Chain A
Amino acid sequence: MGRYIIRRLLWALVLLVLVIALTFAIFYLLPSADPAQLRAGRNATAQNIADIRHNLGLDKPVYVQFWDYLKAVVLHFDLGYSYQSDASVKSLILDRLPATVSLAAGAIVIWMLVGIPVGVISAVRRRSLLDRAAMTVALIGVSVPVFWLGLVLLYLFAADIGKFPLLPGANTYVPLTSDPVKWLTSLIMPWFVLAASSAAVYARLLRGSLIETMQEDYIRTARAKGLLERTVVMRHGLRSALTPLVTVMGLDIGVLLGGALLTETVFNVPGIGRLNYEAIVHSDYPIIQGTVLVAAIFIILANIAVDIVYAFLDPRVRYS
């Protein structure tokens, strides 16, 4: 197992370099606004733009820019400086990370707490009214766009603009360290919005997986041994049925830690997703590169964690 993890981590480094290279290539190959021109603004002369291009290091050959960036990242984990604000990208990302982690963690808890029980009940009571109702709600949850659901919740329940002012609305996020109660209440709506579609997906996924598992021979054996149905489902069926869920969850956690763009935007939670979006709008390449790199790191780590969890969930899985 140890050697396996080391090998995976080494591969991860290769992948990260590839991600940097790909993001670099995308930035230079796809049509986007010239950051020097954007920074210069109207009335700027060609000399102004050339000066800014020089200041930002954009006048160097692409391969030199790439090499400089790679060197800085590898040797100092220096992600450069924002073209827009001159702020250090590393500090910007670290500043935004707690909000993204807060949002992701709460949403994951909610969707697991909702998705797993609903999936189990639907699988166990297949084709019952409860199953059909749960799956209909799940279908709606999957189909509703996040930004729409967010706006509707705000118009209904936000303390400032809602019809039934119950919860803090957009732009109310405070860090956990400054006020835990406000942190909690400000994130309730974003958590539910972010969790809605995932809970629905997980419920449907688990339902399918559990129905399939419950038809396996070892389940029949367990029942033949006279075990309680609850024990058969929870101890033997669910453990195996969770494997595909863990796979998806690994990817989801990685993606979420890279930023939940729409939820962060609707509720103005200052996380990495919004940072990335703003950077794209302003062609702020160092921030785009930094946020993509961070997202890639999270996805890679989450997937390694998933593979390790496999071994615990399914005794048949062995890594060499």
Chain B
Amino acid sequence: MPGTVRIALGVGVAVVLAAALAACGSSKTTTSGAATANSNPANANNGAGGKRGGILKVVTNEDAQHLDPGLAYFTIDYEYTYATQRPLFSYKPNDQTNPVADLAAGPPQISADNKTVTVHIRPGVHFSPPVNREVTTADVAYAIERGFNPHVANPYIGVYYGNVVGADKANGGPLAGIKTPDKYTIVFSLTKPTGGLLAAAFVLPVSAPVPKEYAQKFDAHTPSDYGNYQVATGPYKLQSDASGKVIGIGYQPGKHITLVRNPNWSAATDYRPAYLDGVDWSIGVPPEIAGRQALTGTHIVDGDTPTATIVKLAYQRYRSQIFFSPGSGNRYVALNTQVPPFNNVNLRKAVFAAMNRKQMGTVRGGLLVATPATHFIYPGLSGFEEAGGIAGPGYDFTTSPTGNMAVATAYMKKAGYPSGRYTGAKPLVVVGSTGAPADQDAQIVNQTLQNLGFQTNLKLVDQSVMYGTFCGTPKLKVNVCPNVAWGRDFADPQTVLAPTFEGSAITQTNNQNWPQLNDPAINAAMEKAKLLNGTAARAQAWGKIDDMVTATAAAVPWSWDNQANVYSKDTMCVNALYNTGPCDFSFSSLK
């Protein structure tokens, strides 16, 4: 049967192709934004005087990750979530530090013992069709409680709401620590005095109200598909049919997102001007094309990270159409402190001193997109100045952004290598990410290690595999992860330091304390700082902790990212600084 062989071959080709692609995975080029022109938060547009009407076109290569406001936790997710949902508090687009009351009617009231937080919400806010009714605090309570529902599995709910009374046993049902004495008041009772952090976390989308009577049938599914049938409280909603179905209508996976006006939104209850009539969002546009369409087209914004080529083109020829959003995260090289040789602090300091951090930033696009970092709390977060500001803590191994081999050699000698070079025989396992410029940064780190005498075994894998399989799995004993990065959840420095450097954050899977730093003094300082209330006190304490972490040289910070964002010249893009700078749909307008 001659055809069978051909069929088998044909099928084989299909399967092998799928397998090869599966093995390759993806790579994401991320060039972030700038330190010079058009990057000062003070110059960020506040959107005032925008023209009403029109449809804004958005182009991205990336798809949405989670539609459900109880799960949204990604830059692109936030772009539509903050236009369609109203959490208790949120940031105005040109202020990434000070949250304002959104669904809430005023500031949160934190008790003197820091264990009770009370919030009053505005009357007159309504859900979009088909629910239509007024929002009450019971909807806020349900939104938070469903975060604990295993069918929803919100990833940060335990981090910020874990001290609410009853949260330790929560599975989606009512929490003893959340009370709604009337329909406009909600009270959170905590087991520990962490009210300040809880109040700050209200800016995350999980506090956006969800109507229980409508959502619970979706939440009963495994997994919950409420996101595909969600209702809105913001000025826009994902387009839906009369039953509320969004999937296949307002959201076509991998193809399209359509935002339309929420007919039940009232401007009187909101601080958002909401100039646009809607948003027409195309997914899957190649990054090079998306950037060019935004720069040369009409009423288009690139909702993704533009490529280095687009950033260069925009900076040279379309300077008014690019904005570099400061405070977009940090990048660092993690050195595994739990296994030899980097359980030796002096070896870590030698690597820190030798690293040409400026060159690593240069391959990402230079100062425009990567401010050379000297510590971990980055600009735009409270605690940045307390941790040393731009200059950093001033340790001898941190001061030279281009690397200082004399200092490195001195630390090699202190570490027990009199020649100034490492003489151990076992090669280091270095796992980096594929795709430019991450692979080039990994190569720079690898070369630096070799310059100090280390033998290395460099593996470059897809970013998700790097995090999920290698750097996030302590038992694999990866020595160096050169491409790790972190961004804040909100303006509190705890959200940057605790998940990444606290001993208790070390987990056997999905570990994010990549250096596996478990320093008792730092752990104790964090425990104490978590209980503080007040921005100034917390900034002081976490700034000190940042200094302590930097002193361990467990990781080598090399970039404070400035995320680039490009848009058409006839678009008044109001950059959402809290979300690394894409245009805020609720404030942007068409010229």
Using a CB–CB cutoff of 8 Å, the interface residues on chain A facing chain B are 7-8, 11-12, 15, 18-19, 22-23, 26-27, 30-34, 37-38, 40-49, 51-52, 54-56, 82, 84-87, 91-92, 95, 151, 154, 160-161, 169-171, 247, 250-251, 254-255, 258, 265-266, 268, 270, 274-278, 280-281, 283, 288, 291-292, 295-296, 299-300, 302-304, 306-307
Contacts and interface: CB of A to CB of B under 8 A. Distances in A.
Contacts of A30: 19, 22-23
Interface stretch (B126-134, B155-163, B173-181, B334-342): B155-163
B36 interface: no
Given A160-B293, A278-B63, 12 more contacts: A27-B22, A30-B23, A51-B153, A82-B253, A87-B228, A87-B247, A151-B286, A171-B59, A250-B6, A251-B9, A280-B22, A306-B3
A41 B253 contact: no
Interface string B81-95: 000000000000000
Nearest to A151: B288
Contact of B293 (A15, A84, A161): A161
21 contacts: A8-B4, A11-B7, A18-B11, A19-B15, A26-B19, A30-B19, A40-B153, A40-B155, A41-B155, A42-B510, A44-B155, A45-B155, A51-B153, A161-B296, A171-B59, A171-B293, A268-B284, A268-B289, A277-B21, A280-B24, A292-B14
Given A23-B18, A283-B464, A254 B10 contact: yes
Given A27-B22, A41-B74, A270-B284, A299 B159 contact: no
Interface string B499-531: 100000001111010000000000000000000
B11 A255 contact: no
A250 B10 CA distance: 10
B228 A255 contact: no
Given A32-B23, A55-B153, A281-B25, A171 B11 contact: no
**Majority DSSP secondary structure for residues of A touching B:** helix
Contact of B469 (A7, A31, A277, A281): A31
The 6 closest A-B pairs by CB, nearest first: A44-B155, A33-B464, A51-B150, A281-B26, A299-B10, A55-B223
B385 interface: no
B14 A49 contact: no
Interface residues of B, number: 72
Contact of B14 (A84, A265, A299): A299
B212 interface: no
A258 B10 CA distance: 11
B507 A45 contact: yes
A37 B18 contact: no
Contacts of A87: 228, 247-248, 253
A86 B499 contact: no
Contacts of A306: 3, 6
A34 B286 contact: no
Contacts of B227: 86
A248 B501 CA distance: 58
A174 to B, nearest CB: 12
A128 B21 CA distance: 43
Contacts of A280: 18, 21-22, 24-26
Given A51-B150, A87-B253, A95-B252, A265 B286 contact: yes
B289 A86 contact: no
A270 B469 contact: no
Interface string B427-446: 00000000000000000000
Given A84-B65, A171-B285, A265-B284, A34 B59 contact: no
A43 B254 contact: no
Contacts of B285: 170-171, 268
Interface string B71-83: 0011000000000
A312 B151 CA distance: 57
Contacts of B293: 160-161, 169-171
B286 A170 contact: yes
B284 A274 contact: yes
Contacts of B22: 26-27, 30, 32, 280, 288
B358 interface: no
B296 A92 contact: no
A299 B255 contact: no
B297 interface: yes
B32 interface: no
Contacts of B499: 42-43
A170 B59 CA distance: 11
B225 interface: yes
Contacts of B255: 95, 270
B566 to A, nearest CB: 13
A12 B7 contact: yes
Contacts of A250: 6
A251 B6 contact: yes
Contacts of B286: 151, 170, 265-266, 268
Contact of B510 (A7, A18, A44, A277): A44
B285 to A, nearest CB: 5
Interface string B258-298: 00000000000000000000000010111011001100110
Interface of B: 1-4, 6-11, 13-15, 18-19, 21-26, 59, 63-65, 67, 73-74, 150-151, 153-156, 158-159, 222-223, 225, 227-228, 247-248, 251-255, 282, 284-286, 288-289, 292-293, 296-297, 461-462, 464-465, 468-469, 472, 489, 499, 507-510, 512
Given A247-B6, A266-B286, A255 B155 contact: no
Contacts of A278: 63, 254, 284
Contacts of B512: 42-43
A19 B11 contact: yes
B247 A33 contact: no
B3 A8 contact: yes
B170 to A, nearest CB: 11
Max count, chain A CB within 10 A of own CB: residue among B1, B19, B254: B254
Contacts of B10: 251, 254-255, 296, 299-300, 302-303
Given A15-B7, A84-B65, A161 B18 contact: no
A303 B507 CA distance: 51
Given A8-B3, A31-B469, A292-B18, A48 B153 contact: yes
A33 B464 CA distance: 6
A48 B223 CA distance: 12
Interface centre among B13, B18, B21, B159 (most CB of A within 10 A): B18
Given A27-B22, A51-B153, A160-B293, A46 B3 contact: no
> For B19, B24, B253, B508, which residue has the most chain A Cβ atoms within 10 angstroms?
B253
B250 to A, nearest CB: 12
Nearest to B159: A43
A133 to B, nearest CB: 32
Contact of A33 (B251, B282, B468, B507): B468
B14 A19 contact: yes
A51 B284 CA distance: 30
A45 B158 contact: yes
Contacts of B253: 82, 84-85, 87, 92
Contacts of B150: 51, 54-55
A300 B18 contact: no
Contacts of B8: 15
Contacts of B151: 51, 55
Given A32-B22, A32-B23, A268-B282, A26 B74 contact: no
Contact of B65 (A41, A82, A283): A41
A160 B297 contact: yes
Contacts of B158: 45, 47-48
